[in-house]
């Protein structure tokens, strides 16, 4: 019986695409499918059979670090994107260069209390079915080969032991017949959850719930045989799980060829090839979101405009995200390198200005930390401010450390690190033309950024080709097209936050300092700073009034809504037309 090799290929293998949250901002499932297809080709050539992707969790709380792995706050959009990823990874699983996809995390993992990873989840049955399950179902309908259980509890029962969730909902209602794997050590974690007294009991609960494979914990390997012999576990359950794993291996053709598509010559031809790099750059360009552009500060003029590029992300190769585990940071092209290749490089100046993190902001448990200890903070700040004072415009490349998003990266503070905010404040004192390019894996609190910057471009963690994509976008060779797939909050105190919240009996839509008895805060607005679906570009569009093909909707009938969109600006552009219904 052949081995099956699985791993986390989240936003690319060696050629890294933008993080999934950024891919959600493209609103383009075909583009996302292409990225998954490229990741599959590279991974298959390297011997991987299964990827633990897509993550279809709906996310409403930016404190949770794993929002970077989701495609956003809307279940419909997430379903489209997760389905596209499944099709990209798997194809029909028979053709060369495909791998099996594993849908995660079932279910509700994206709604932990207080945004704290692995925490309890409280969802009403209706909220679960309307706002979370549809995205998972879209992946299952697309033919996903595997599903992964989530770490969290749901209805106070850990998912890995939740028979109702795994058998009644996943198997019976959703019709999933593939293999079900636990998340890392989740079977053994039933003991600290408090529902199992030891690993043997944990193994019994998980196999009865329908979990076919125990990833990483020893609970199954050490106990299932004995549990069957003691009559505590029906042997038919073992047969079911074995059959599902054997069927997956058979679909992958591993019995005929246990090495499948692994080939050194294919690795050399595919990994980081020009076509894959070009596709990653194109995806990055489509994912950037322009939040602000006063006085049309962007795009930059291509000739004789003195621009100072300042900030810790100007010359930074750590732009692939915390889950790009097969990437080599040296393969990523930083912004500075891409800009220096332009013809107008003589008019550009560069300075770090600050560290990514300041004192007291250590990242624990990671070896890929950004080396910052050699930077003299005060000297770097002084040099940057002097450079900003002489420039026509200042582009500040700021953002989070990449390890501040991802698994186990929940945060209660979503503002820029103090050292970077200080750099922005000081640069704004000597130059009014401030443009911020923001590198991040989650929505952030940008109030103190929006007050100082005339333009804000969210670059996310853009991957291997982030630098060239940004250089082209900043200088208008292409225009930003992204729309936020997750809102940027006005304050972290608003979280969790999403655009399609139910109305209350006392809805509120006015000045938060007036109208006392509405559903509101006394000291901040209900609205986010930048809402779901928001994104500017370098031109302007007008919409005609919406016309409907009928004035009422009958059962089993359809209404067509039509609108005419006109580019009223001086530059070409792409508009994503969004229809909201209630």
Catalytic (active-site) positions: 183
Q: Is the dihedral of CA 260, 266, 267, 271 positive or negative?
A: negative
Cβ 36 vs Cβ 85: under 8 Å: yes
Dist. CA 244–CA 246, nearest whole Å = 5
DSSP letters of 431-481? Answer: -S-EEEEEE-SS----HHHHTT-SEEEE--S--TTHHHHHHHHHTTSS---
Q: Round to whole Å and give the CA distance between 11 and 391.
A: 36
Q: Which tokens belong to 81? A: 């994107």
Sign of the C-alpha dihedral computed for residues 14, 18, 20 and 24 taken in this order: negative
The whole-angstrom separation of Cα 280 and Cα 274 is: 10
Q: What is the C-alpha separation between 324 and 551, in angstroms, rounded?
A: 50
Which candidate, 74, 71, 66, places its Cα nearest to that of 54? 71
- Burial (CB count <10 Å: 0-12, 13-18, 19+), residue 409: buried
Helix (H) or strand (E) holding 33: helix 29-45
3-class secondary structure, 308: strand
**Closest of 344, 334, 434 to residue 384, by C-alpha:** 434
Beta strand 100-106 pairing with 50-51: parallel
d(CA 403, CA 203): 33
Query: Considering only CA atoms, which of 12, 9, 549 is closest in space to residue 272?
Result: 12
Q: What's the residue count for the chain?
A: 582
CA angle 112, 524, 531 (to 5 degrees): 60
Give the β-pairing of 307-310 and 348-351: parallel
Residue 104: strand, helix, or coil: strand
- Determine the Cα–Cα distance for residues 197 and 200; give it in Å rounded to an integer: 8
- Alpha-carbon distance 151 to 162, whole Å? 11
Is 49 buried (19+), middle (13-18) or exposed (0-12) by CB count in 10 A? buried
CA 1, chain centre distance (Å): 36
* C-alpha closest to that of 190 among 202, 180, 200: 202
């Amino acid at each position: 019986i052949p081995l099956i090799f699985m791993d986390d290929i989240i936003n690319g293998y060696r050629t890294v695409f933008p993080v999934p949250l950024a891919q959600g901002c493209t609103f383009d499932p075909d583009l996302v499918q292409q990225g998954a297809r490229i990741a599959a080709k590279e991974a298959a050539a390297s011997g991987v059979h299964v990827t633990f992707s897509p993550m279809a969790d709906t996310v409403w709380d930016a404190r949770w670090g794993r929002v970077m792995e989701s495609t956003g706050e809307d279940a419909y959009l997430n379903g489209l994107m997760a389905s596209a990823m499944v099709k990209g990874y798997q194809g029909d699983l028979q053709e060369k260069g495909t791998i099996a996809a594993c849908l995660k995390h079932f279910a509700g993992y994206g709604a932990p209390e207080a945004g704290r990873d692995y925490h309890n989840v409280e969802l009403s049955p209706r909220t679960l079915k309307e706002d979370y399950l549809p995205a998972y179902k879209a992946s299952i309908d697309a033919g996903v080969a595997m599903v992964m259980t989530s770490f969290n509890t749901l209805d106070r029962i850990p998912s890995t032991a939740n028979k109702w969730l795994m058998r009644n909902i996943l198997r019976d209602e959703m019709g999933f017949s593939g293999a079900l794997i636990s998340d890392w050590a989740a079977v053994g974690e039933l003991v600290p959850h408090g529902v199992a007294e030891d690993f043997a009991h944990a193994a019994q609960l998980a196999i009865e719930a329908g979990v076919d494979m125990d990833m990483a914990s020893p609970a199954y390997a050490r106990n299932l045989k004995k549990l069957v012999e003691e009559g505590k576990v029906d042997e038919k359950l073992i047969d079911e799980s074995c059959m599902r794993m054997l069927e997956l291996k058979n679909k992958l053709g591993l019995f005929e060829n246990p090495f499948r598509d692994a080939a050194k010559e294919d690795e050399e031809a595919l990994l980081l090839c020009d076509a894959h790099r070009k596709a990653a750059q194109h995806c990055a360009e489509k994912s950037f979101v322009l939040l602000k552009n006063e006085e049309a500060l962007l795009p930059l003029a291509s000739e004789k405009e003195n621009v100072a590029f300042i900030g810790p992300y100007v010359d930074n190769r750590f732009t692939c995200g915390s889950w790009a585990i097969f990437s080599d940071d040296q393969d990523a092209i930083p912004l500075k390198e891409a800009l220096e290749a332009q013809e107008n490089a003589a008019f550009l100046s560069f300075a770090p200005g600050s560290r990514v993190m300041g004192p007291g902001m250590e990242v624990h448990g990671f070896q890929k930390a950004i080396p910052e200890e050699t930077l003299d903070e005060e000297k770097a700040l002084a040099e940057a401010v002097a450079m900003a004072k002489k420039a026509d415009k200042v582009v500040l490349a700021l953002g989070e450390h990449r390890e501040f998003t991802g698994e186990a990266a929940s945060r209660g503070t979503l503002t820029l690190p103090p050292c970077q905010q200080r750099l922005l404040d000081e640069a704004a004192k000597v130059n009014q033309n401030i443009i911020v390019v923001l590198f991040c894996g989650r929505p952030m609190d940008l109030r103190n950024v929006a007050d100082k910057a005339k333009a804000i471009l969210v670059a996310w963690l853009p991957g291997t080709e982030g630098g060239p994509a940004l250089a082209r976008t900043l200088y208008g060779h292409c225009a930003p097209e992204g729309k936020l797939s997750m809102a940027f909050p006005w304050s972290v105190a608003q979280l969790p936050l999403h655009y399609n919240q139910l109305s209350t009996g006392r809805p509120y839509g006015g000045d938060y300092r007036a109208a006392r008895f509405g559903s509101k805060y006394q000291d901040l607005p209900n609205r986010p700073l930048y809402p779901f679906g928001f994104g500017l570009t370098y031109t302007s569009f007008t919409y005609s009034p919406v016309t409907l093909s009928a004035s009422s909707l009958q059962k089993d009938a359809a209404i067509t809504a039509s609108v005419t969109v006109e580019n009223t600006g001086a530059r070409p552009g792409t508009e994503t037309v969004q229809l909201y219904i209630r």
